[in-house]
A and B are shown apart, each in its own frame.
Chain A
Amino acid sequence: RKEVEQDPGPFNVPEGATVAFNCTYSNSASQSFFWYRQDCRKEPKLLMSVYSSGNEDGRFTAQLNRASQYISLLIRDSKLSDSATYLCVVNKAGGFKTIFGAGTRLFVKA
């Protein structure tokens, strides 16, 4: 079993749609959690950190469920510019070992 697993995708959605990505992690000792966005042939960039209390940044909402070892990302009112690969990222204890999920590709179409 992979340490971090994501929805396989790709997701093809129209502009304005709401889309949700899910991610599960296997190591209960994992300490910190993030969603990164990666555009084609570019480096990954932090989208948002994920906290147990849930957090929101504009159209983006992230949730963490430690009991179920589950992370989610919700994108509301999708824009064309949201088209990218979304990577679920988990840091193990100590923060050194960052594990990436395989990524979920999102295509937003007009």
Chain B
Amino acid sequence: DTEVTQTPKHLVMGMTNKKSLKCEQHMGHRAMYWYKQKAKKPPELMFVYSYEKLSINESVPSRFSPECPNSSLLNLHLHALQPEDSALYLCASSPLGQANTEAFFGQGTRLTVV
């Protein structure tokens, strides 16, 4: 299984809603990532988890709250988002401790905040 699975694929939410994005991988990767990608821009790193612990937070607003319940799952909890948060949210995973290891990406969740 070489897939990273993200759900939902599409999400429309109001600015007062609370929702969660989910990501799952069964490749045994111990690093997992959240990226945000706006149209015609490259992915921007938001969070990195290694061994289920938050390693990097790229100064992301607190309305985005990541969670890593176990080595296969990564969630992104959303609350009180703004319309400018509308974007493609990509989850990725990679092995740790190996040189030249690429990240595998999920298909993303296309989020629209109304």
> What is A's interface to B at a CB cutoff of 8 Å?
31-32, 34, 41-46, 49, 51, 87, 89, 95-103
Chain B, Cβ-Cβ closest to A6: B42
Q: Would you call B100 and A49 a contact (CB within 8 A)?
A: yes
Q: How far is the CA of A2 from the CA of B99 in the complex (A)?
A: 24
Q: Would you call B48 and A96 a contact (CB within 8 A)?
A: yes
Say yes or no: A43-B48 contact (C-beta < 8 A), given A32-B100, A49-B100, A95-B94: no
Q: Would you call A100 and B43 a contact (CB within 8 A)?
A: yes
> Count the A-B residue pairs with Cβ separation under 8 angstroms: how many?
49
User: B interface, by DSSP: helix, strand, loop or mixed?
Assistant: strand
Chain A to chain B contacts (Cβ below 8 Å), 27 pairs = A31-B99, A32-B99, A32-B100, A41-B88, A41-B110, A42-B107, A43-B105, A43-B106, A43-B107, A43-B108, A44-B43, A44-B105, A46-B102, A46-B103, A46-B104, A51-B100, A87-B42, A95-B31, A95-B94, A95-B101, A96-B31, A96-B48, A96-B55, A98-B45, A98-B103, A99-B45, A102-B41
- The distance from the CB of A90 to the nearest CB of chain B, in whole angstroms, is 12
> What is B's interface to A at a CB cutoff of 8 Å?
31, 33, 41-45, 48, 50, 55-56, 88, 90, 92, 94, 96, 99-108, 110
